[in-house]
Amino acid sequence: MDSNGSGRRQFLKNAAALAGVGLGAGASAEWAARGETAKSEGKPEAPHDHRELLRRGARFSVDHITYYTPLQDYVGIITPASLHFVQYHASHFPDIDAKQHRLTIHGLVDRPLSFSMDDLKRLPSVTRIHFLECHANSSPMIHGAGNENMGPPVQYVHGMTSCSEWTGVPLSVLLNEVGVKPEGTWLVSEGADPGKFSHTLPMAKAMEDVIVAYGQNGETLRVEQGYPIRLLVPGWEAPFSVKYLRHVKVVDQPYHAWNEAMNHSVARPDIGGKARWYHYQFGPKSVITRPSAGLNMPGRGYVQITGLAWSGGGVVKKVDVSTDGGKTWKEAKLQGPVLPRAHSRFTFDWAWDGEEAVLMSRCTDELGEVQPSRAELFKNWGFSEEDSKKPQRSIHTNCMQPWKVARDGSITDAMFS
């Protein structure tokens, strides 16, 4: 769908739209000065710059705005808000006046209430570090889809995961104020974006650890992250975390809004060609961010392998690294802090001997679950071995990523080779 030419034109159009909703005149001036599309910092020889919008891998289609986090340049565990991934289902961001914005909670409750931003900010707040990952991140189909706007493979294949310190009111506090009736077992939430993004959430999760967030990494939530408020559903696929949150209705069954019922379901052979309805938490996952495809080995001898590991199931327990394509494994160091449902940074000391190598990482989480290989994952889903080698569209993908190092020091994506 995104040929380079139309992607470019669409990008410029969207750049103008972004400037229009107040993402900053500076950004559009930067784009205009370059007279072209944003380019990511993917190429290792690119000079470093802090013009943040230019560092995000970008992709636009008529009904999507997508930014990919530059994982290759990402250090530590926190993603700056300016580099957080975006997967947005409309053509422009909403322009919401926070003074006028209200969050309503109604449905199967004793006291339907409307909350202003002042109301939300006077209530007890929590601040927690959690990853957020698009359910389509790492989809096999995207491995061959890169272009110069999207950064190197680790950025555009895996860059729809980010990790932030989120601040807001626990949703349980608000639900207690309205008084949920016993038959209120699910919620459905609506955003104020043009597409009215809506999603169902089970009450048990809502009462456990969900946040109505107004802050991210020490600042006010940004426009593209749901300003003025969004849901933050820790460890679960990101579509649960509805942005621009304005209505929450307490109901007695899943509501199957358009995005969740059809747009976000994918048929699978192991369940008779039917589609799985509601994936909840992400499984254990990890990826080596450096060295990775598109970058070059700095030379023979010592090189630190580093990457990120996370799990919707809780804390990352250990990460193993292989430099021979999975034949042998050694345990990596977890740098810390290692927090539940958050990115964890791992490092691994390696001496490159100048020979071919295939680098992979494998995460084990506190539930004892182990990150699968591509072959294992696709076998679980009922695909034939032949089909598992084709880049399929899939969601909920958490398989291991192999990077192949050649003798000349170049690195390529070896998922399908």
Partner 1 sequence: MRCSLNLLASVVILAAPVAGLAQSPKFNVGTPLSQEEIKGFDFMVGPEGKELPPGQGTAKEGAVIFAKRCEVCHGQNGERGVLRRLVLGSPGKPFRGPFGAAEKDSVAYYPYATIAWDYINRAMPVPKPGSLTHDEVYAVTAFLLYRNGIVQETDVMDAKSLPKVEMPNRNGFVPAVPVYPPEPKPSWW
Please list every residue from 372 through 391 that binds partner 1, using CB under 8 A. Answer: 372, 377, 380-381
Smallest gap from Cβ 402 to partner 1, in A, equals 18
Rule CB under 8 A: is residue 106 a binding residue for partner 1?
A: yes
Give buried/exposed letters for 11-47 (b at 16+ CB in 10 A, else e). bbebbebbbeeebeeebbebbeeeeebbbbbbeeeee
Q: Binders of partner 1 among 121-160, rule CB under 8 A?
A: 122-123
Smallest gap from Cβ 205 to partner 1, in A, equals 6
Rule CB under 8 A: is residue 281 a binding residue for partner 1?
A: yes
Binding residue (CB under 8 A) for partner 1 from 30, 148, 165, 369: 369
Interface with partner 1 by CB under 8 A: which range of 39-47, 301-309, 368-376, 409-417?
368-376
Rule CB under 8 A: is residue 266 a binding residue for partner 1?
A: yes
Smallest gap from Cβ 290 to partner 1, in A, equals 27
The kind and range of the H/E element at 153 are helix 153-158
Residue 411: count other Cβ atoms within 10 Å of its Cβ.
Answer: 23
Pairwise CA distance, residues 309 & 313, whole Å: 12
Tokens of 287: 């990826």
Q: Binders of partner 1 among 11-50, rule CB under 8 A?
A: none
Kindly tell me which of 180 and 238 has the beta carbon lying closer to partner 1: 180
Overall size of the chain counted in residues? 417
Kindly tell me which of 159 and 314 has the beta carbon lying closer to partner 1: 314
State the burial class of residue 399 (Cβ atoms within 10 Å of its Cβ: 0-12, 13-18, 19+): buried
Amino acid at 200: T
* Closest C-alpha to 289, from 359, 235, 338: 359
Rule CB under 8 A: is residue 115 a binding residue for partner 1?
A: yes
Kindly tell me which of 186 and 348 has the beta carbon lying closer to partner 1: 186
Please count the CA atoms within 13 angstroms of the CA of 12 that sit on its side-chain side.
11
Partnered with residue 320 across adjacent β-strands are 331, 362
Q: Binders of partner 1 among 319-348, rule CB under 8 A?
A: none
Binding residue (CB under 8 A) for partner 1 from 30, 44, 80, 91: 91
Kindly tell me which of 56 and 247 has the beta carbon lying closer to partner 1: 247
Kindly tell me which of 107 and 291 has the beta carbon lying closer to partner 1: 107
Tell me the three state secondary structure of residue 9: helix
Q: Binders of partner 1 among 348-367, rule CB under 8 A?
A: 367
Pairwise CA distance, residues 401 & 394, whole Å: 15
Rule CB under 8 A: is residue 247 a binding residue for partner 1?
A: yes
Tokens of 3: 């040929």
Binding residue (CB under 8 A) for partner 1 from 35, 50, 97, 204: 204
Residues touching partner 1: how many (CB under 8 A)?
80
Smallest gap from Cβ 24 to partner 1, in A, equals 23
The kind and range of the H/E element at 345 are strand 344-352
Binding residue (CB under 8 A) for partner 1 from 125, 280, 333, 374: 280
